[in-house]
Amino acid sequence: MAAISYSNKYSLFSILIFITVVSSPVLAQLSVGFYGRTCPSVYDTVRAATRSVINREPRMGASLIRLFFHDCFVNGCDGGVLLDDTASTPGEKGRTGNINLLRGFEVIDNIKVQVDRACGRVVVSCADIVAIAARDSVVESGAHTLGQARCALFRDRIYNETNIDPSYRRSLQANCPRVSPNGDNNLAPLDEKSPNRFGNSYFQSLMNRRGLLHSDQVLFNGATTDSIVREYSNDPRAFLSDFSNSMLKMGNKLKF
């Protein structure tokens, strides 16, 4: 993974390569085949569950990524963040810093139930589920930074929502008439500033209320994920370094 250079600009290409490498079966260190024999369906199960959760509640993508980082910052990636307090041992879940900060515990518990059912027995650890779900969340949420969206997908946002910059709204409305199906297929870039490159302009746009999709703008809407957006917006390298550091750190412990 060290061979990949993120020198000056994070091109969309490089982040896609990164994600591909992380999830690639040919990467020796993080062997995708780890559960290949014991429970090959784990990846599809986690992917489907993560996707459906994010579709239902888009902010959960960021929450799962965050949960993953918090788990890995305390004693390495051990799933300890998911532990409840017991009489003798306080679990990480109750620690200051984790309590009230982290959402997504229930989501992971729920995915674990589905995975155990799909595998027919308990074979995949909570830590691995957190890690796989976080990786899938990056893919699900990161995909929104590339390409274009159809007017039909953002019409409601530009005519009905208030957390949108007025001049941005006007420029989008010019190419997306209010009444469907007029202009349903007209396109607008998901990231107006750098449509072909993944960078922090995506996060800056969110802070300026210029996110095209409702599901993107909710990441910055006066709630818990605002601070993450702010952080990544100020520090273009933060996201990739957070993500890749954690991935590397757990490389020897977890096997994808």
Ligand X SMILES: *[C@@H]1O[C@H](CO)[C@@H](O)[C@H](O)[C@H]1NC(C)=O
Q: Does 182 bind ligand X (CB under 6 A)?
A: no
Alpha-carbon dihedral of residues 66, 72, 73, 74, nearest 10 degrees? 120
Nearest to 250 by CA among 108, 135, 99: 135
Q: Please tell me whether 191 is known to bind a ligand.
A: yes
Q: Annotation-wise, does 71 bind a ligand?
A: yes
144 is in an annotated binding site: yes
**Nearer residue to ligand X within complex by CB, 169 or 253:** 169
| 218-237: contacts with ligand X (CB under 6 A) | none
Identify residues 149-168 at the interface with ligand X (CB under 6 A).
155-156, 159-160
In the complex, minimum distance from the CB of residue 96 to ligand X, in angstroms, rounded to a whole number: 42
Of residues 20, 178, 234, 241, which one binds ligand X by CB under 6 A?
A: 178
Q: Is 214 a catalytic residue?
A: no
Q: Does the footprint of ligand X cover residue 117 (CB under 6 A)?
A: no
Peptide bond into 181 cis (omega under 30): yes
Report how far apart, in Å, the C-alpha atoms of 33 and of each of 20, 26, 111 are. 15, 9, 20
| Residue 50 structure tokens | 């993560």
The catalytic position among 59, 66, 70, 155 is 70
Taking CB under 6 A as the criterion, which residues in 83-102 touch ligand X?
A: none
Min. distance of Cβ 156 from ligand X in angstroms? 5
CB of 65 to ligand X, least distance (A): 31
DSSP sequence for 178-243: SSTTTTTT-EEESSSS-TTS-STHHHHHHHTT--SSHHHHTTSSSSTTHHHHHHHHH-TTHHHHHH
Cβ proximity to ligand X: between 84 and 156 the closer is: 156
Site string for ligand X, 9-48 (x = CB under 6 A): ----------------------------------------
Name the residue nearer to ligand X (CB basis): 88 or 162.
162
* 76 marked as binding residue: yes
Name the CA dihedral angle for 193, 199, 202, 204, rounded to a multiple of 10 degrees: -90
Spatial distance between the Cα atoms of 250 and 30, rounded to a whole number of angstroms: 9
Positions marked catalytic: 70
The contact set with ligand X (CB under 6 A) reads 155-156, 159-160, 178
